[in-house]
Amino acid sequence: MKKIKIGIYGMTGSFTDQAGREILKKKKINLKNIDFVYLPDAKDLMNFVKKGHLAVLPIENSTGGTVTQFLDLFPDYDFEILNEYFMEINQTLLAKTDTKMKDIKKVYSHPQSLLQCSDFLNENNFTPLADSDNSTAAKHILEMGNDVAALGGEILADIYGLKILKRKVQNSKNNVTRFLLIQRKGLKNPLENKLREKKRNKISLIFETKDLPGVLYKCLGAFATNNINMSKIESRPHRGKENFNYFFMVDLEGNLENQNIKNALAELDFFTEKVKILGNY
């Protein structure tokens, strides 16, 4: 079997790397048949999908909220969500082997990890500094002095020869990240039947409203009047359009084949400039 390429946000040992491997193991897919491609830039990952590949990315965290680096790109790319995966995230403070806690002044990590550990950083007067991902931050501190540390998974200590100074430094004990497995829409993927959820009882979509009074209220009414539960809504500035022009992302319970979903989408279409289905999974 020809190896399937799957893009991973971040580098080896990142939380997304761990999530991607767990998804595949859960679906009983042999990792020897997978060629993982590590991409620490969100746009590079989405372009990788555009070329005809699969990818795993983080979309939101129970403490840090939405990963906006990806959500902001969603209107620009033609893809579909095959699956989602929720993984408990335990943040670890990592440093070089000769670094002590009292030496640390700066902590590097992905912006989401810094948000998830803000209480710990503030309590210790550590300066948070953003890096492209946890794994890259862990690698970077090897080249710096003894006044720096990184946040990430315990596995990074083994990968980069770092010392674990403290475990579970996140603000909340119940710290969970939601990851998405996506592919280019229409891609002929030999693993699709295994990777795609059979029940497909969740829908994600984005839409842009028309310029009408009370238009968002009317858009959301399309779901309420058709008895559809909405589990998420978020607005983001639409890049490349006039200032203060927004799009909305919504997660719904249901299947695209359900009549109430069809009715709601037809009603939604009347009040929107554009509706884009991201996936039914």
In our burial notation (b when 16+ CB lie closer than 10 A, e otherwise), range 239-256 reads eeeeeeeebbbbbbebee
Residues 59 and 99 placed together within one structural domain of the fold: no
Residues 208 and 69 placed together within one structural domain of the fold: no
Kindly report, residue by residue over 60-97, the tens digit of the pLDDT.
999 999 999 999 999 999 999 999 999 999 999 999 99
Residue 18: CATH number of its domain:
3.40.190.10
pLDDT of residue 1: 65
Residue 222: CATH number of its domain:
3.30.70.260
Q: Which of 15, 48, 179, 223 is catalytic?
A: 179
Cα 243 to Cα 248: distance, rounded to the nearest angstrom:
15
Task: Give the closest residue to 249 by CA, choosing from 211, 220, 218.
Answer: 220
User: How does strand 230-237 pair with strand 176-184?
Assistant: unpaired
Kindly report, residue by residue over 117-163, the tens digit of the pLDDT.
999 999 999 999 999 999 999 999 999 999 999 999 999 999 999 99
Q: How many domains does the chain have?
A: 3
The question of whether 74 is a catalytic residue gets the answer: no
Residues 52 and 182 placed together within one structural domain of the fold: yes
The question of whether 120 is a catalytic residue gets the answer: no
Residues 58 and 120 placed together within one structural domain of the fold: no
- Higher-confidence residue of 186 and 87: namely 87
**Which of 128, 157, 192 corresponds to the end of one domain?**
192
Categorize the per-residue pLDDT at 242 as very low, low, confident or very high, splitting at 50, 70 and 90. Answer: confident
Any idea which of 1-5, 76-80, 97-101, 271-275 has the lowest mean pLDDT?
1-5
Percent of the chain with pLDDT over 90: 93
Residues 53 and 187 placed together within one structural domain of the fold: yes
Cα 90 to Cα 95: distance, rounded to the nearest angstrom:
16
Q: Which of 66, 177, 209, 272 is catalytic?
A: 177
Residue 197 lies in a domain: no
SS3 of 63-76: the string is: CCEECHHHHCCHHH
pLDDT of residue 241: 74
